[in-house]
Amino acid sequence: MLRQFPIFRARRLRSRPEFRDLVRETHLDRTDLIYPMFVVPGVDVEHEIPSMPGCFQYSVDRLIPAVQEVADLGIPGIILFGIPRHKDGRGSEAYAPDGIIQQAVLAIKNTVDHLLVITDVCLCEYTDHGHCGVIRDGDVLNDPTLELLAEEALSHIQAGADMVAPSDMMDGRVGAIRQTLDQNGYESIPILAYSAKYASAFYGPFRDAADSAPQFGDRRSYQMDPANADEALHEVALDLQEGADIVMVKPALAYMDIIHRVKTTFNVPVAAYNVSGEYAMIKAAAGNGWIDERRVALEVLYSIKRAGADMILTYFARDVVRWLGEMDA
């Protein structure tokens, strides 16, 4: 139906904040958010990541109060990334029972209630070559990597994690992890799959935060080509068939079309990762006084939800809760 001026005036319902509240189509809530956090070895470490102002690497003892703060804000979950003490060719600390993530999860679960602890399952932080799998002749081997990823996922869950999030982009990893979890009695643990994960330059600051930059080559032989969209739908379909409970699109900002297509095609829970580079760009511009951090960040997060995401992994999570509170006031 075409409504025409002057019978119809779009500005009527924009004229007062109360009208705007009533007709707003998209809502952003603290319950949409997952906050990424980085844990490092040592004691009394709380190191601000230079390219990600406001985000820190924490040792386990300092992580606990920070996690408690996130839970107190009413944010439903965190996703944990670990930086190990030692790296090797097979990323051994990723699946060591006393690895950095396993220690952190155990400590959080002993002290903090009402918060989902999600763990990123990947090898790049743990391997000395910085790739997401086992290497032979300069190539990342797919099938031998699956066993290690499944072992890593299992050890995170045994430490007490509530959900695993494989981010490695090996073929078949969701199925491998599902099978291992089920065989060990963890059939009720969900998997959040990084399904449409692109080989993106927006991960730059993260690789400083997690010390996970590849030491040779790049990740284009396993992460997706930014030029592709149909392929993302195929990746999502495969992960759903293999048992993914939530599928993720990553990054978010440059991939809104993918978020939208995944949501409308599959009608399953969709997560979007508002990645480190997206955060750093806003922080840098705002730090220069060129943009309004709060308004730009909220605009981006609203647009990610509008595109179809049910939840957003974002370094702005704590700020968002504060900002939304201020807006109510």
Positions marked active-site: 197, 250
Q: How far apart are CA 141 and CA 90, in angstroms?
A: 11
Burial (0-12, 13-18, 19+ Cβ within 10 Å), 208: middle
Q: Is the dihedral of CA 107, 108, 110, 116 positive or negative?
A: negative
CB 212, min distance to ligand PBG, A: 6
Q: Which residue's CB is nearer to ligand PBG, number 190 or number 205?
A: 205
Q: What would the two tokens of residue 319 be?
A: 């700020």
CB 275, min distance to ligand PBG, A: 4
Q: Is 301 left (phi over 0), alpha (psi -120 to 50) or beta?
A: alpha
Burial (0-12, 13-18, 19+ Cβ within 10 Å), 209: buried
Contacting positions for ligand PBG (CB under 6 A): 120, 122, 124, 132, 167, 203, 206-207, 212, 219, 275-276
CB 18, min distance to ligand PBG, A: 37
Nearest residue to ligand PBG by CB is: 206
Q: Which residue's CB is nearer to ligand PBG, number 201 or number 327?
A: 201
Asked if 282 contacts 292 with a C-beta cutoff of 8 angstroms, the reply is: no
Burial (0-12, 13-18, 19+ Cβ within 10 Å), 193: buried
Q: Which residue's CB is nearer to ligand PBG, number 169 or number 298?
A: 169
Q: Which residue's CB is nearer to ligand PBG, number 132 or number 192?
A: 132
Q: Which residue's CB is nearer to ligand PBG, number 1 or number 144?
A: 144
CB 22, min distance to ligand PBG, A: 35
Q: Which residue, among 40, 82, 116, 81, has the nearest Cα to 275 in the 3D structure? A: 81
Measure the CA dihedral 110/101/95/214, to 10°: 170
Asked if 67 contacts 51 with a C-beta cutoff of 8 angstroms, the reply is: no
The helix (run of H) or strand (run of E) holding residue 260 is helix 256-266
Q: At 91, give phi and psi (nearest 5°).
A: 60, 45
